[in-house]
Amino acid sequence: MEAVHKEEVQLRHVETDVLIPKMMREKAKELCATKVEAFNHCCKDSGFLMVFKCREQNAALKECLTVYYRDPVFYEECKQVYLKEKRMFEETGVPARNRKQKLPTSM
């Protein structure tokens, strides 16, 4: 009968300022995948001149990522995912990255 309300959860400084923003960056990169891919492709093709040749792709990528970084709703969504993963770790002792691995089919 453990009721956890969003307001009751006290997060540590490292969680609010490091871990949740890290999750936001990872998810934003997934959501901006086409812009990430375009920038990476441009950089590979441009070599040392990428600073000059890839300005447009870099600006588009930054703009896409910034939209997510500044979105309080996106922050809250990532925070809730983080809290869910934290609770699962506390219950099972298994980190989220290990839980996401698929089990072998020949068990």
Q: pLDDT tens digits, residue range 54-101? A: 999 999 999 999 999 999 999 999 999 999 999 998 888 877 776 555
Identity (one letter) of the amino acid at 7? E
Write down the pLDDT at residue 107. 42
Within 10 Å of residue 54's Cβ, how many Cβ atoms?
A: 21
Measured CA to CA, the distance from residue 64 to residue 32 in angstroms comes to 6
Q: In the chain, what are the domain boundaries? A: 14-91
